[in-house]
Amino acid sequence: MAFALSTSLPYLIAYLFSAASVVGILVATLWWSKTTGTKLALNRFLLLAKEETKRLFSKDPVFLMHLSIALGVGLTILIALLDPFWSYFPLLRIVLLIVSLPLIAGLLAAFVWRIQRFVQSKEAQKLLDTNRSFDRSSAYLQGVLILAILLTTTELIISWFSILAVADLVLNIFRNSLVVLYYAEPSLNLIQYFDRPLSMVRVPFKLSDVMEGKVDASSIMVGVSKMSEFPEYEKLSYDSCVEIGACESACPATAAGRPLSPRILVRKASLMGKQKPRDPDPFETIREDELWSCVTCGACVESCPVAVKHLDIIYDLRRNLVSTGKLDKDKSTLLQNLVQNQNPYGFNSSSRGDWAKDQGIDTISSNPNAEYLYWVGCVASFDQRAQNIAKSLAKIMKHAKLSFAILGREEMCNGDPARRLGEEGRYQELAYQNIERLNGYKVRKIITSCPHCFNTIKNEYPAFGGNYEVIYHTQLISDMFKNGKLRISENKLNEISVTLHDACYASRYNSIFDEPRSILSATRKDIREMPRRKEKTFCCGAGGSNYWYKVPQQKTITSIRTEEALKTGAGTLATECPFCLSMFEDSMRVNTGSKMLVKDVAEIVSEELQVATY
């Protein structure tokens, strides 16, 4: 840049205002930090940077586009601040300009995607019959994001031309002003809650405290009936939504034409929360069928670039519906079955272990010294088709000479269907009863073949005194192959091609990705992947207790995923969850032209294993 230009009055004014706008971003972030009671710490920034770096290798296009936006904003700020000093750092300027090229490409892709999302958001709003006020607010916020992308892209392009330095700084001022007004709060939410795990569910009370008289039951608030009753972190969460729409794009309920868009739901909450001093009932605009449409798969949370926690909000609203008795017959029957028979089917618990009677399997009461307890779960205990998962896994464990036992008739539902439905009290009753029984038998190691059981016992029971080493069946079987306890001769690998459906509560909730794939690699020659896999998996439609009731929809979530599986041309659809197995088998029966088999990974291994000699 010429010296005369760098010292001209217009340039000096533009530079000072640009620098002031950067200070404005820092002040706004600190202000929101103080207002929301959250703390900014260097270690949070470092942890976030580490996490974002890991996600670079996921090749997720939505993440890469929004990373381009974030890095583009940061790079334009750096270029603007250093602009008067380029004569001292000419090489640095060249490096930064080269770095800007992939960011420009990413920003242009983000712009195209934003336009697509804008059009699709209108379709979702039409389906949910949102009012004009919401539509205007949505269009405005999406327009701001599109403008911010265009400004950042233009800044990076014209930063190549020194003669346009003043224009570059002016654009920088406008874009930074948008960051101050609209994106400081979401950035704070991201820094604060990016690593809050999906498996963490807020505990509004502890039943043990009530039973011991530590807490008055009448003082317990379950769910929310007023906007002020949302916990502060949930308020920050819904206020951080800037209509990016990644959640809506990933949501299986939205894809199936159910009356739910996670984007619309949290924005409704945010708009109501701003109605000061009025404290509205969230159900003035949030519909009950929106909440029941959620399958709690976590795709919305996983895909959100600013770490909005949609599920926490949905759980608290569902809790209100349950506490006020707003349940249809199917949901009421589910809860009644859990009360009377300790399983969602309503079957007599005495028949829970019948599947194992001719399998030579010990109960924990007859073999209290067993190293492992196999927690079978309700579906594999009572559903005749899913019972083969339990039988197959038991066969594998016996072949590997593993010391294990089951609870049999003493096993009860882990409580997941009640908690996901919103009945926290019944969930905790089951949790405490199960923990008492497990601790009574001094159980330390638990094997599960249901990801919902796995997630509940591993991640939720510790809050109530149940601390165990919980092993998922794909983890166990994968380790057996690695350790040589199971093997299949390479020349005897099955020729039938296979594709894997990642179960949401195994993959997205607990990051179990590689284990089922290593198992399939040890049993099949031809493994074919679906486009949506691992943490980007698409739900089978059974989660969130949806297995036990019906919601209005244009097509089933299961049919969408079935079509994805069929497009791979694989002969077998491998599952790792009894709910998934049941959902896909039903879907395949409806799809009469399909010859694809549906099998759990344990069934595949059981059919083809050879026992290692050791």
The helix or strand, by DSSP H or E, that contains position 499, with its residue range, turns out to be strand 498-500
Averaged pLDDT for residues 72-90: 93
Domains delineated in the chain: 3-193 (no CATH), 207-323 (1.10.1060.10), 342-480 (3.40.50), 486-546+553-611 (3.40.50)
Q: Model confidence over 505-538: pLDDT tens digits?
A: 999 999 999 999 999 999 988 999 999 999 999 9
Alpha helices in 347-455 (DSSP H): 378-382, 387-399, 416-421, 424-440, 451-455
Using DSSP, state whether 357 is helix, strand or coil: coil
Segment among 65-69, 211-215, 470-474, 496-500 with least mean pLDDT: 211-215
Backbone φ, ψ for residue 573 (5° rounding): -100, 115
Q: For a pLDDT cut of 70, what percent of the chain falls above it?
A: 97
Worst-scoring range by mean pLDDT, 32-36, 144-148, 252-256? 32-36
What pLDDT score was predicted for residue 2? 41
pLDDT confidence of residue 5: 47
Report CA Rg, the chain. Answer: 27
pLDDT of the residue at 591: 75
Ordered DSSP codes for 47-68 = HHHHHHHHHGGGT-HHHHHHHH
CA neighbor of 414 nearest in space, from 500, 338, 480, 321: 338
Split at pLDDT 50, 70, 90, the class of 109 is very high
The predicted model scores a pTM of 0.92
Whether 371 shows a pLDDT value over 80: the answer reads yes
Write out pLDDT tens, residues 182-208. 999 999 999 999 999 999 999 999 999
pLDDT of residue 217: 81
The pLDDT confidence band at residue 447, using thresholds 50, 70 and 90, is very high
Query: What is the per-residue pLDDT across 37-59, written as a single tens digit (0 to 9) for each?
Result: 888 888 888 898 888 888 877 77
Which residue, 271, 269, 307, 304, is CA-closest to 189?
307
- Which pLDDT band, with edges at 50, 70 and 90, does 492 fall under? low
Cβ pair 51, 307 in contact under 8 A: no
